[in-house]
Amino acid sequence: MKKLFVLAGGFGTRLRTVVSDVPKPLAPVAGRPFLLHLIDNWVSQGVRDFVFLLHYEAEKIQQILKHISDDPRYADIQFVSVIEDAPLGTGGAILNAVKKLDMRDSFLVANADTWLEYSALNLANEAPNVIASVEVPNCQRYGSLDLDGDVITNFNEKSSDGDGGIASSGLYHLEPSIFDGFDSGSCFSLENDVFPLLVSCGQLRSIVVHGEFIDIGIPGDYLDFCEWMECNRNDP
């Protein structure tokens, strides 16, 4: 199974009106930090090798990871942290980890604020470079993708028209070589700087997947996810 890089270094400013005492990945959901639900979900899909990309309140996330790494239930799971001294953006954070871990093989990337009921193992079996995308009823928050078959031809900016479409789920299978030409230690965006270069060369694909997709980045969706998890936990 591929390594899973987990982007967990953001400041989570939009969620602070309801979660102010912990970083966003540790937002409480059904009595546990959101990140633990994510980890259990990924482990159930076959992920065994995690790399957490951290910056904001990294020590709090590391404490949680240390706690579960001592749990016998996670005895065969590898938890590694790579901490940024300064914010590097999504692209810079991944490149920083690629360099520090001397990555030669392709790897998976996921966000620490997004729940996706699609197996990461399935995406790992796809040739890189590929995005797991989802159909959403409203693209206002995510923007949308234009596709020619499975090849991404354009990333559309977030719009105010509220139309549905195909959006990135934030789960990727990537090769280290896509960062060639970017400087290690520099701040840049995977979505805005790296992906457009791949799209311009016809080298970025999309696999449309199905299953529950929830981004807890704003209060309304976070509260909806809390309710969804409580209902699922209470189902017979």
Q: Which of 72, 51, 71, 73 is nearest to 62 (CA)?
A: 51
What pTM was computed for the model?
0.93
Give the residue numbers spanning the domain of 214. Answer: 4-234
Tally of structural domains, the chain: 1
**Mean pLDDT over residues 29-56, rounded?**
95
| Token pair belonging to 33 | 């930090």
Q: Tens of pLDDT along 139-195?
A: 777 778 999 999 999 988 765 566 788 999 999 999 999 999 999 999 999 999 999
Q: Are 190 and 175 in contact (CB under 8 A)?
A: no
User: Cα–Cα distance between 11 and 36 in angstroms, integer?
Assistant: 19
What pLDDT, on a 0 to 100 scale, did the predictor assign at position 163? Answer: 76
| 14 pLDDT above the threshold of 90 | no
| Token pair belonging to 13 | 């400013």
What pLDDT, on a 0 to 100 scale, did the predictor assign at position 236? Answer: 40
Q: Tens of pLDDT along 205-219?
A: 999 999 889 999 899
Beta strands in 76-232 (DSSP E): 78-83, 107-111, 114-116, 130-136, 144-148, 151-156, 165-174, 205-208, 213-215
CATH number at residue 118: 3.90.550.10
User: Cα–Cα distance between 124 and 91 in angstroms, integer?
Assistant: 20
